[in-house]
Amino acid sequence: MSALPPPEEPLIVLVDDDPAILMSASLVLRSAGVGRILTLEDGRQLLPLMEIQEISTVVLDLVMPHISGDTLLPRIVQRHPETPVIVMTATDEVTTAVGCMKDGAFDFLVKPVEENRFVACVRKALEWRGLRQQVGALKRSLLSGRLEHADAFSAIVTASPKMRAVFQYVESIAHTVEPVLITGETGVGKELIAEALHRVSGRGGELVPVNAAGLDDALFADTLFGHKKGAYSGAEESRTGLIAKAARGTLFLDEIGDLGHTSQVKLLRLLQERKYYPLGSDVARVSDARILCATHRDLEAMMAEGRFRSDLYFRLQVHRIEVPPLRERPEDIAPLARHFLAEAAYSLNRELPETPSGFFSLLASGHYPGNARQLRAMIFDAVARNGQGELSLESIRKAVRNGSGSASSVAVVPVMGEGGLFRGVIGRLPTLKEVEQDLISEALLRAGGNQGVAANFLGISRQALNQRLRKKKEEEGE
């Protein structure tokens, strides 16, 4: 029995009484970069090992001394149903294959097995197990309502149920080896999600971020794969690529929607084969880095236009995380604003400023196409403009109007008919006085009773609103 590999890596156990077959099969899998390999010549060692060691896949021979594979197979399936078992034997009989599949075998291979088929079968078994683990983790998370690794998400300020659902999904897929596609608008925090996923995964290597925007095909290959000395003019020293730096860790490719066609092909090959060639080298190197990708672009539209490869898109779609925009989680605006206020005060070496009444209601009226990044810039600018004491609402009001548009101007006007607000309405039209009173009441309701914010919604000054309110009160008192 060979030495146990690191416990955090997926473990593939090969069980066969022929040492030559064990050696050749393990060499094939290692050269393909498929997991860590453990070999057993005695089948009696397998079940005790499975009680103390997490095993990702078992490749099992049928005809062995001491205990046969067809005796072991149903016991493994019964005690460890989450572990796929691939039967690999020289017995080429249909009845044997059917019996193994009935007993719960994941697949049945006849020796000698073609190398590519063997590797593909093992990879498929690992993917199947990963998906089962993902579903199980997601069920546990949803049923318990708790995060098992809440500290991993501490850098993400949120009070949103939608973001909590994202966190639960991150925990459910963190320990798989499959790629992850993180999508969402600019400024929603895709890189923070990637960092959290890496922390939850517990991978031994580091997180290596790469911004693909602006990298042409040659620079992309050199940055990721590195080069040998003399690979091209100016390559005076060998260079290790970032994929090697991310060994046993995570490679995070941001803005993959900007990759050129040739770079997309190279990324697809890396994902499928887990092999790469440094520039100028004809010797393949194996990568064990988990790959995360992110983009704010609509990859489906790009695929339809022929600007993004469909095979790469579907390969990345194994796990997909959609980060919701800030406008879909308005409950996050206040906690984010408080966080950015403290961050700005610390950065500018000032005391934490006081916030005036209506400050957070005014922020909540913004649309924020730039999401949290835009909100952060707005808060930093307001703190920088402020002297000491209470923040001024004026700079925030201007930023909300000019930078993002008021929420009162974004999809809040009820259209009762085509061509105008009241087009198609049957019966008498409301009077100007009635419309004005309804608008004022709605603005005050949305502003939480704050007249300054309500006036901003209505596009008038606070004094003008006060005059209308006093007039209404006087008329009601008559």
Pick from 51-65, 306-320, 440-454: least confident = 440-454
Q: Is the pLDDT of residue 407 over 50?
A: no
pLDDT of residue 321: 95
- Mean pLDDT of the region 388-392: 77
Comparing 426 with 305, which gets the higher pLDDT?
A: 305
pLDDT of residue 163: 94
pLDDT of residue 298: 94
| Whole-angstrom distance, CA of residue 343 vs CA of residue 377 | 11
Over the stretch 71-91, which tens digit does the pLDDT of each residue have?
Answer: 999 999 999 998 999 999 888
pLDDT of residue 419: 47
Over the stretch 110-169, which tens digit does the pLDDT of each residue have?
Answer: 888 899 899 999 989 988 888 787 777 766 666 666 788 889 999 999 999 999 999 999
Q: Is the pLDDT of residue 331 over 60?
A: yes
pLDDT of residue 340: 94
pLDDT of residue 323: 96
| Whole-angstrom distance, CA of residue 284 vs CA of residue 304 | 33
| Mean pLDDT for the chain overall | 85
| Whole-angstrom distance, CA of residue 299 vs CA of residue 296 | 9
- Mean pLDDT of the region 175-186: 92
- Mean pLDDT of the region 177-187: 93
Q: Is the pLDDT of residue 211 over 80?
A: yes
Output the 3-class SS for 57-71: EEEECCCCCCCCHHH
pLDDT of residue 7: 40
Strands in 329-463 per DSSP E: none
Extract the tokens encoding 304: 């339809």
Q: Is the pLDDT of residue 415 over 60?
A: no
pLDDT of residue 406: 42
Q: What is the pTM of this model?
A: 0.68
SS3 293: strand
Q: Is the pLDDT of residue 306 over 80?
A: yes
The domains of the chain, with CATH numbers, are: 11-129 (3.40.50.2300), 146-324 (3.40.50.300), 328-409 (1.10.8.60), 432-477 (1.10.10)
Burial class for 387, CB neighbours closer than 10 Å (0-12, 13-18, 19+): exposed
Pick from 135-139, 318-322, 344-348, 457-461: least confident = 135-139
Over the stretch 39-67, which tens digit does the pLDDT of each residue have?
Answer: 999 999 999 999 888 899 999 999 898 89
Residue 371 host element (H or E): helix 371-385
pLDDT of residue 463: 82
pLDDT of residue 8: 55
| Whole-angstrom distance, CA of residue 364 vs CA of residue 366 | 5
Comparing 9 with 69, which gets the higher pLDDT?
A: 69
- Mean pLDDT of the region 183-187: 94
pLDDT of residue 418: 43
Q: At what angle do helices 451-458 and 462-477 cross, to 10 degrees?
A: 100
pLDDT of residue 147: 85
Comparing 31 with 399, which gets the higher pLDDT?
A: 31
Extract the tokens encoding 257: 């929607």
Confidence grade of residue 437 (pLDDT, cut at 50, 70, 90)? confident
Extract the tokens encoding 38: 């453990």
